[in-house]
Structure 1
Amino acid sequence: MAKAHRHPEARDVQPRVLLAFGGGLLLFIALAAIAVKLIFNTAPTWLPLPANTNPENPDLQTTPQQDLTALRAEEDRQLKTLGWVDRNAGIARIPIDDAMWAVVSHGLPDWSRPTAAATEPDCALLTAAVPRGLRARNCRQQGETGR
């Protein structure tokens, strides 16, 4: 039997090539990060603080349940009281119970009809009740032109 001649094992990867590849990869990542920073503005942009705000002591909602309860109480109060929404335009609010009763007793208005200026009694009531309203203004204008 002939003895097989053994050769020493050759390396598959040369260390210099492996280190050069790793160094090149790190250099590429660093250059890519610098290029992204230069191309895109990645700095965070914050809105300027209002003049009366102290950044060290911001106004936080400390009692959200109580705030919600107060908000709902105010909404309920507005639903149950009579008041002006826009006095100059002649827009008022009435209590929700009264509004529902008016709809039940008189029905919904017929919006396909012309404005309240179509009949004189309606115009008189409208101008007396809401003198600055748009419909009252239309009544006065139609009254001045003699229809």
Structure 2
Amino acid sequence: MDEATRFETRDTPPWLFPLLGGLAAGLIGIVVVSLLLIFPDAAKDQNHALTTPMPEPRLQTDPAADLKRYKAEAMERLTGYGWADREHGIAHIPIDEAMHRVAERGIADWPAGARREGQ
């Protein structure tokens, strides 16, 4: 061995790595054992599935009739007269008539130049 070659004199002692590994393994073992003691049922294989089937929700008994009734009510409102707010004197008119009135008279408080720009 050459005297000019130097070695690190402050090296980690070889017994430190097995000691740290043993401490880590011991700590993991303590955690596992303590969790098994705290939660004893966690390691058991239990079936948590429902034993009886859930009833399906019956939100609509006749969806086709409900849709037909909804469309009829919507068309009645679009094509008929009625009150939107009776207390304030606001009524609704058929949509065809409303479109004719807007085409003839325009919209109140609408800028005059805006109609020409949109065309």
Question: TM (normalized to structure 2)?
Answer: 0.46
